[in-house]
Structure 1
Amino acid sequence: MTRLPRGRAPRLLRIVRQPFAMPLLARGWQRATPVLLAIGTVAVLGGLTIIWAARLTVPYPVYVSELGAKGAPTAVAFAVALLCIAAGGCAIALASGHIRSTARLLGRWTPALTLGFAGLCFVLASQVTCTAACPVPLIDPRSTVQDLVHTVTAVLGFAAACYAMLQVAFATALPRIARFSLICCVIVALITIVGGLLAIVHVATDVGAWLELAGTTVAIAWLAVYGVSLVRVPSPTAA
């Protein structure tokens, strides 16, 4: 049996236990982080641009999900936009694994995991879209299982994004972005709650549609700002 040179065995053991703690791999991951952040930021902003471009082609108020309804002329653009947002969110999540909330309840897992879950939800929502006019599940008799799946995944993805904002709001590594995240979280929560209630009771749906679009815009803009801010935050591997 061949013995490893003295000092080689402990080094290999450290690599197994902490693969990104060794200088070579740490430098490689450190170089990849800005690329992931750049790709993620461009992707989410591209998705937001596509959503607004699609919305402006519709001459009457519609909710965001209606842009991707089966048979809608903007269905393909809607699917592409959600996939861009999902891919960008996952890229930013991969580059932000070192960010963690200092609050006990919010720090059980990292914002990166929350954003990754939100990205998976948006991928599913982009492929399982609602039917024509996007009837509200369990309330509108026209709703189908497809509407239920799309609505649940879209709501879970949006809720996860808001929860990620709240987690970042209590991250000491990002003091300025923390305050910005808390403000965005409150704004998005209020806007989406009001817009959702208007959609359920079928009152002032044109106002509710614009509120939903505004909430979506704020949430995606927050993700882009968060991605850009991470460029200046060194990861533990850099040390």
Structure 2
Amino acid sequence: MTETVERPVSGVRRDAPHRPALLANVGAAAAFGSAALIWLCRAWDPSVQYVSQLGATAMPTAPVFNLALLLLAVAAVLVDRALVARPVGYVVGWPVATTLLICGLCFGVASVVTCSPGCPVPFTPGSLPQDLLHITFAVLGFVLAIVAMGQVAMIRRRPWMRATSVVTLIAVGVTAFTGAMIALFRGDTALGGNLEFTAATLAIAWFGVFGLQVAADHRQAVRRGSSV
């Protein structure tokens, strides 16, 4: 009877170390899938200038785009869960996992509360409360993604991921800022829209790459543990 009780417990212990790597890998796949769906929407309706307009009410691309945004939320939360399940030193000021969790929740809200038709700027004629909510959570999620990149860029023990985060952080910052300035001063909307799509794609791709790095860290930790 004693053997019957102990065997399933040991089986759970053998499987448990691999769970964080699985979560991180699924999160990475969700992030890459999100980027692919957003560009599918972009190809579907090239006339759309800005990212959030693809998910606006009554847009034919809305269901696919909002699914892409939800996948991004899932990606951030899964990578967060992977970090929490088996911490591997991703703490800069506060845990990177905390940043990812709040970031994912923001994108989750933005995927449910969509823009009104045309996605007008909040507090302008024709805008609705849902526009303010969507833009607020989408922008906050984007800013938190940049914060997470900055945190990872400061971790010296992972030079490859650090370099990737620094390059992505600079590229996202430059493209997003330039696109925002073009929109603010009513410049070339096509160029501004392309820059926004580029910034969003880089940020989403970073989630995917980071998820793969977290999974690799977990696998390496498990191998070290099993060799002891």
Task: Normalising by structure 1, report the TM-score.
Answer: 0.82
Residues 89, 26 of structure 1: alpha-carbon distance in 2 compared, 3 angstrom cutoff = farther
Quote the Cα distance in structure 2 between the aligned partners of 1:70 and 1:124: 15
What are the Cα deviations for residues 171-214 of structure 1, in whole angstroms up to 9, with x where unaligned?
13322101110111111111111212222332211111111110
* 1:11 matched residue in structure 2: none
Query: Computing the radius of gyration over CA atoms, which structure comes out larger, 1 or 2?
Result: 1
Q: Which runs of 4+ in 1 moved over 3 A?
A: 23-29, 99-102, 234-239
2: CA distance, partners of 1:29 / 1:167: 27
Within the alignment, does 1:144 sit opposite 2:128 as a pair? Answer: yes
Please tell me whether the aligned partners of residues 67 and 75 of structure 1 are also in contact (alpha carbons under 8 angstroms).
yes
> AA paired with 1:36?
L
Q: Letter of the 1:111 partner, please give it.
A: V
Is the partner of 2:60 in helix, strand or coil?
Answer: coil
Note the 1:1-239 alignment, pairs <5 A. Answer: 28-97=15-84, 98-100=87-89, 107-138=92-123, 140-234=124-218, 238=222, 239=225
Structure 1 residues 28 and 108, CA, compared in 2 at 3 Å: closer, same or farther?
Answer: farther
Residue-by-residue CA offset, 1:48-92 (whole Å, 9 max, x unaligned): 111100110113142110000111000101111111111111111
Compute the displacement of 1:101 (Å): 5.5
Distance 1:120 1:91 in 2: 11
- The answer as to whether partners of 1:72 and 1:132 remain within 8 angstroms in 2 is yes
CA contact (8 A) 2:99 2:144 kept: yes
State how far apart, in whole Å, the 1-side matches of 2:12 and 2:170 are.
39
- Separation (CA, whole Å) in 2 of partners of 1:225 and 1:53: 20
CA displacement at 1:216 relative to structure 2: 0.8
- Give secondary structure in 2 for the equivalent of 1:49: helix
Question: Residue 60 of structure 1: SS of its match in structure 2?
Answer: coil
The C-alpha deviation readout for 1:28-63, integer Å capped at 9, x for no partner, is 542101211221111111111111001101131421
Q: What CA RMSD, in Å, does the superposition of the two structures yield over aligned residues? A: 2.1
Alpha-carbon spacing, 1:99–1:202, altered in 2? closer, same or farther (3 Å): farther
User: In 1, are the aligned partners of 2:22 and 2:215 still within 8 Å (CA)?
Assistant: no
Kept in 2: contact 1:61–1:210 (CA 8 A)? no
Q: Which moved more, 1:163-172 or 1:189-198?
A: 189-198
Query: Could you tell me how far apart the structure 2 residues matched to 1:65 and 1:118 are?
Result: 17
Q: Distance in 2 between the 1:174 and 1:27 partners?
A: 27
